[in-house]
């Protein structure tokens, strides 16, 4: 063991994701198990600058494992992007006696933690929390499984009305830079076509696919579109384009939006959050620093934060092929 840590801070930052509360609970209770003080930092890095701290014990996190969002709140912080802001945050941590941080969030959260670590040599460990599943160094991020289930459930309901009225629905899901939600939810819900940022299939291919579906007897269709799709048109422009170029299609649009970020976390996300929280605290106790807790082939691993931030997660090529075969 390295020098014993007596006080650990935990914060959530960036976009919320289901499972963040479960991760906070795990961090707090692991600290309590090892007789380490735990400090909850409210409103992310913004709260760190303001000294918005509150001691947390095992009873402070009762009945939150099943709650979406984050009870520590989250906020974007322009002040933390400045050296002065980070100095203020460091001074607040020093004043309160916090010796290490557990950061729960995504790309921006980890970038802030990496810079903070470089400037002040302050121990940080990240837990990946984002529904997009776009962090390198882990197969799954907290909230991704829940968001997938939310999207599939919504698309199933949309299909009911699509088939009743013989309509084509474009359903937009989250995923500005990556198409993991769109691809997996599309395959899981039986979508006829899936448009993701990683693959520019082109508008001609889309029209061809929809025409083929119609000729093979499909009376209704679902097209799942990631918000970062590379066709050059947003989901409403796609609807207009199809209506202009294909006769006989009654086209509707449904944007799932922020409902994908809310709701109770799935059992998978609750268990993953619990495992990651324990690993994060015990890794800090062992002297580990500037790393992220990830899961690779269901085994928890530590991955350098700088590589997690600079890397790009890849779409599943095999699943893309599966989606093509399933849409016949």
Consecutive H or E run containing 158: helix 144-165
How close are the terminal C-alpha atoms of the chain, in Å? 58
Catalytic hit among 132, 134, 229, 269 = 132
Please give the Cα distance from 95 to 89 (Å, whole number): 10
Cα dihedral sign for 313, 317, 318, 320?
positive
Contact of 228 with 178, CB cutoff 8 Å: yes
Report the alpha-carbon distance of residue 87 to residue 297 in Å, rounded: 39
Residue 170 bridge partners (DSSP)? 223, 253
177 is known as an active-site residue: no
Best CA proximity match to 151, nearest among 258, 295, 9, 249: 258
Residues recognised as catalytic: 132
């Amino acid at each position: 063991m390295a020098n014993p840590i007596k006080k650990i801070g935990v914060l959530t930052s960036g976009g919320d994701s289901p499972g963040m509360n479960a991760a906070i609970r795990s961090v707090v209770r692991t600290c309590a198990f090892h007789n380490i003080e735990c400090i909850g930092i409210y409103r992310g890095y913004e709260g760190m600058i303001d000294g918005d701290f509150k001691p947390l014990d095992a009873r402070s996190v009762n009945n939150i494992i099943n709650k979406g969002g984050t009870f520590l709140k989250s906020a974007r912080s322009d002040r933390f992007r400045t050296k002065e802001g980070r100095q203020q945050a460091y001074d607040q941590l020093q004043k309160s006696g916090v010796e290490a941080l557990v950061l729960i969030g995504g790309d921006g959260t980890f970038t802030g933690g990496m810079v903070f670590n470089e400037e002040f040599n302050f121990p940080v460990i990240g837990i990946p929390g984002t529904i997009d599943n776009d962090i390198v160094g882990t197969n799954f991020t907290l909230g991704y499984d829940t968001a997938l289930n939310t999207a599939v459930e919504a698309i199933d309901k949309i299909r009911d009305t699509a088939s009743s009225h013989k309509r084509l629905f474009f359903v937009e899901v989250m995923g500005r830079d990556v198409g993991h939600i769109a691809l997996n939810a599309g395959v899981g819900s039986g979508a006829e076509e899936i448009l993701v940022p990683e693959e520019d299939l082109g508008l001609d291919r889309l029209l061809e696919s929809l025409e083929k579906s119609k000729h093979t007897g499909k009376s209704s269709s679902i097209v799942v579109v990631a918000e970062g799709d590379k066709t050059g048109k947003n989901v409403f422009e796609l609807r207009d384009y199809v209506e202009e170029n294909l006769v006989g299609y009654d086209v509707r649009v449904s944007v799932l939006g922020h409902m994908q970020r809310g709701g109770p976390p799935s059992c998978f996300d609750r268990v993953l959050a619990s495992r990651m929280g324990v690993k994060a605290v015990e890794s800090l106790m062992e002297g580990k620093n500037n790393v992220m807790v990830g899961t690779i082939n269901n085994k928890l691993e530590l991955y350098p934060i700088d590589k997690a931030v600079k890397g790009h997660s890849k779409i599943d090529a095999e699943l893309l092929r599966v989606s093509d075969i399933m849409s016949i």
